[in-house]
Every structure is written in C-alpha cells, then in structure tokens.
C-alpha cells in the first residue's frame, strides 16, 4: 500500500491529505480516531472496487450518503458496485457515508464536507428535513448534482429521484391485504414505518391508507413508526401497539425489521395472518421461504443505481441520450415465484 499511486488513490477515496494517509499506513501518531477509521474504510472500499482503480476512461467519484439500516445500505452498496463496471468506458468509484441513526445536524455536516471537498455527484437517502433540503441546495450551488434514492426530497434542488413507484407500492399492498383478509371482515392492520420523516415511506403509507379506505373500509390502520428499522426499538414499539389493539391480525411493513415485528407477535401469542414487506433482502428471504411473510414488494435496485449514475454522468456531459426511467415497477414476490438466484 506504500506505492505513491495507491496512496494518492486512498487519499482521494478518504477525502484526506496524502500526508495523513502516509501517517496511517506507517502507523505514525498524530491522526485522529475518526480520520483513522475513514482511511481504513477507504482502503476497504478501494479493495472492493479494485476493478475500477487504474482503468482508462473518464473518471467519476460519487458520494453515497444513506441513513438506513445497514442491511439495506449494504444492498445499495453491492448493487452499485455490480453496476459500476458495466458503465465502462466511464470509470466510477464511490465513497460511502452510511449510518443507521444519526442526528440531522451530523448528516448535514457530511453533505457540507462533500460540498467543500468536491464530488461528481451525491446519491442520497435522507429524511425530508428543511436543513437537508438547504444542504442539497449548497451542493447544487457547487455544481454537485444530488440524486435521491428510495425516498425523495421533492422540494429540494435535487437533480432527480430514482426508486420504487411508492404510490403503486402502497396501493398494491392494500389490494393484497384486502384480498387475503376479505372485504367484509373488520380487522386492524399494523402499518410499520421506520420514520415518518422519510418521504418515500410516507408516500407508500398515504397511498395504502387511501386505497384501504376506498376499497376495504372495514380494515383500519394501526400506526407503528419511529423504530428506524432497528430490531429492539421495533419489537418494543410493535408490542405496545398489539397490546392496545387486540384486533390487529395483519401487517404492512414499510420500514423493515420484519423479524422484530414477528417476534413482537410471538411475544403476545398473536398470529399474523397476512404480512406484506418490502425488499427481497437477506433478512426477508428466509422469512418468505418459511411462509412468515406472505409477500414482498420488490424492485430492481441495480436498475435504480444505474439510472442514478447515468443522470450524474449526463450532468457532466457523459453518457448517451437514452431515455432514463426514474421509477421502478413494483414486483410482487411470494414463496411461489422466488428468483432462482
């Protein structure tokens, strides 16, 4: 790692000086713990993206800023790193800023540091807060385009939103639940969001509520939000809701932590008759195979990342004139139509 070319690559990846990387590599004092972790993370990122390092072609550095459970953040990272080599002759690399739960001020600080340091583009999943919207405007003023992922900041200066058609997802969930429970059965449906601050989750919930009221008025929603997709917080929250609402027998999980929701049902000795979740990830796949999830609403995350990259590249005058589709279609995955791989 002592080769000057590699040291420069690490410095660029970490967003620190060449001298700082040299101190870390040679284990010399004077490096703050946070900076040390960032350099070590940069080395790991470069190792995963080794196929991109040293390639000839126009180079783009992306910053991926996600507030999300790590299981989802790693899905995004893996999908992006599968997609980047396919965009050759453009050469893309990514720096990751991942957190499960972080104060908005810290998230804004990350965006402002990217604005000061420079980047070709930011892929962002963040709460729809005024200070985040303002930070996006500062990035835009520096010529750094922002593409929102999964959840949007519709009143910001972001370049584009890419992700699932959230309205269609909510409507599909209502249809499936209504069909399985039956239109003439009064019952409670637990609707779990990681946080109401995420616009995409709110859009799914609003579409679900409207469709439920219009087509299945005997089913009523029971809100369970602010668990942030984290296991213990979600178990506690759902147990409280189940105790207060003995008629809840179904779940629409928008924010994840589905094993936690099932644990809360089991702790109350309650049966979940219908359970609709999102994303065919490592957590949900075994739950779907075992029948604990009735269906998962899925979309092509790699397609989303490709569209995000192409939009950033187009801002910088690269890429062809192909039509870019921002919204991904909703796929209904059940135990009967699981993908082969």
In CATH, what number is assigned to the domain containing residue 5?
A: 1.10.260
Residue 263 has pLDDT above 80, yes or no: yes
Q: What is the mean pLDDT of residues 189-213?
A: 92
Residue 28: count other Cβ atoms within 10 Å of its Cβ.
10
The residue-averaged pLDDT of 190-194 equals 93
Domain for residue 40, yes or no? Answer: yes
pLDDT of residue 310: 92
Domain count, the chain: 2
What integer pLDDT is reported at residue 4 of this predicted model? 60
Does residue 303 belong to any structural domain of this protein? no
Segment 137-183, tens digit of pLDDT: 999 999 999 999 989 999 999 999 999 899 999 999 999 999 999 98
Please tell me the least confidently modeled range out of 128-137, 164-173, 231-240, 324-333: 324-333
pLDDT > 90: what percent of the chain?
Answer: 60
pTM given for the model: 0.76
Residue 84 lies inside a defined structural domain of this protein: no
Q: What is d(CA 304, CA 328) in angstroms, rounded to the nearest whole number?
A: 7
Task: Tell me the per-residue pLDDT of 34-70, one tens digit each, with 9 for 90 and over.
Answer: 777 777 776 776 676 665 555 455 789 999 999 988 8
Residue 289 resides in a domain: yes
In a domain, 221, yes or no: yes
pLDDT above 50 (res 133): yes
Lowest mean pLDDT among 85-89, 172-176, 293-297, 322-326: 322-326
Residue 196 has pLDDT above 60, yes or no: yes
22 vs 249 pLDDT, higher one: 249
Tell me whether residue 78 is in a domain. no
Q: How confident is the model at residue 341 (pLDDT cuts 50, 70, 90)?
A: low
Residue, of 267 and 49, whose pLDDT is higher = 267
- Look at residue 122 and tell me if it is in a domain: no
* pLDDT (mean) for 14-39: 74
- pLDDT at 277 (0 to 100): 96
Nearest by Cα to 141 from 167, 118, 172, 108 = 118
- pLDDT score at 3: 58
SS in 3 state form for the chain? CCCHHHHHHHHHHHCCCHHHHHHHHCCCCCCCHHHHHHHHHHHHHHHHCCCCCCCCCCEEEEEEEEECCHHHHHHHHHHHHHHHHHHCCCEEEEEEEEECCCCHHHHHHHHHHHHHHCCCEEEEECCCCHHHHHHHHHHHHCCCCEEEECCCCCCCCCCEEEEECHHHHHHHHHHHHHHHHCCCCCEEEEEEECCCCCHHHHHHHHHHHHHHHHHCCCEEEEEEECCCCCHHHHHHHHHHHHHHCCCEEEEEECCCCHHHHHHHHHHCCCCCCEEEEECCCCCHHHHHHCCCCCEEEECCHHHHHHHHHHHHHHHCCCCCCCCCCCEECCEEECCCCCCCC
Share of the chain above pLDDT 70, in %: 90
pLDDT at 1: 44
Q: Is residue 97 part of a domain?
A: no
Which CATH number characterizes residue 250's domain? 3.40.50.2300
Residue range of the domain that includes 2 = 1-48
Output phi, psi for 154, to 5 deg: -65, -25
| CA distances to 182, 298, 309, 328 from 302, in Å | 35, 12, 11, 10
Return the top range by mean pLDDT from 55-69, 74-88, 189-203, 267-281. 267-281
């Amino acid at each position: 790692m002592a080769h000057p070319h590699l040291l420069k690559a690490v410095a660029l990846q970490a967003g620190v000086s060449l001298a700082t990387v040299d101190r870390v590599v040679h284990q010399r004092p004077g490096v703050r713990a946070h900076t040390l972790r960032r350099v070590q993370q940069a080395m790991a990122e470069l190792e995963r993206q080794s196929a991109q390092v040293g390639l000839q072609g126009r180079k783009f550095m992306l910053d991926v800023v996600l507030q999300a459970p790590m299981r989802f953040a790693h899905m995004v990272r893996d999908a992006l790193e599968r997609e980047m080599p396919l965009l050759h002759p453009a050469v893309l690399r990514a720096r990751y800023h991942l957190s499960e739960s972080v104060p908005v001020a810290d998230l804004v600080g990350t965006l402002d540091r990217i604005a000061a340091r420079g980047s070709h583009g930011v892929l962002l999943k963040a709460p729809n807060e005024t200070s985040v919207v303002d930070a996006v405007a500062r990035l835009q003023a520096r010529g750094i385009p922002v593409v929102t992922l999964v959840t949007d900041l519709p009143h910001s200066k972001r370049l584009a939103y890419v992700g699932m058609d959230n309205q269609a997802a909510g409507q599909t969930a209502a249809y499936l639940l209504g069909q399985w429970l039956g239109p003439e059965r009064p019952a409670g449906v637990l609707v779990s969001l990681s946080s109401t601050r995420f616009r995409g989750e709110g859009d799914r919930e609003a579409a679900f509520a409207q469709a439920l009221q219009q087509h299945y008025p005997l089913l009523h929603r029971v809100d369970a939000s602010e668990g942030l997709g984290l296991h213990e917080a979600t178990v506690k929250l759902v147990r409280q809701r189940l105790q207060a609402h003995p008629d809840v027998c179904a779940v629409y999980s928008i924010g994840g932590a589905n094993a936690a929701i099932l644990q809360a049902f089991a702790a109350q000795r309650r049966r979940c008759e219908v359970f609709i979740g999102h994303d065919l990830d490592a957590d949900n796949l075994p739950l779907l195979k075992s029948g604990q999830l009735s269906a998962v609403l899925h979309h092509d995350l790699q397609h989303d990342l490709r569209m995000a990259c192409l939009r950033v590249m187009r801002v910088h005058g690269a890429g062809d004139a192909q039509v870019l589709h921002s919204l991904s279609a909703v796929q209904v995955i059940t135990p009967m139509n699981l993908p082969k791989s």
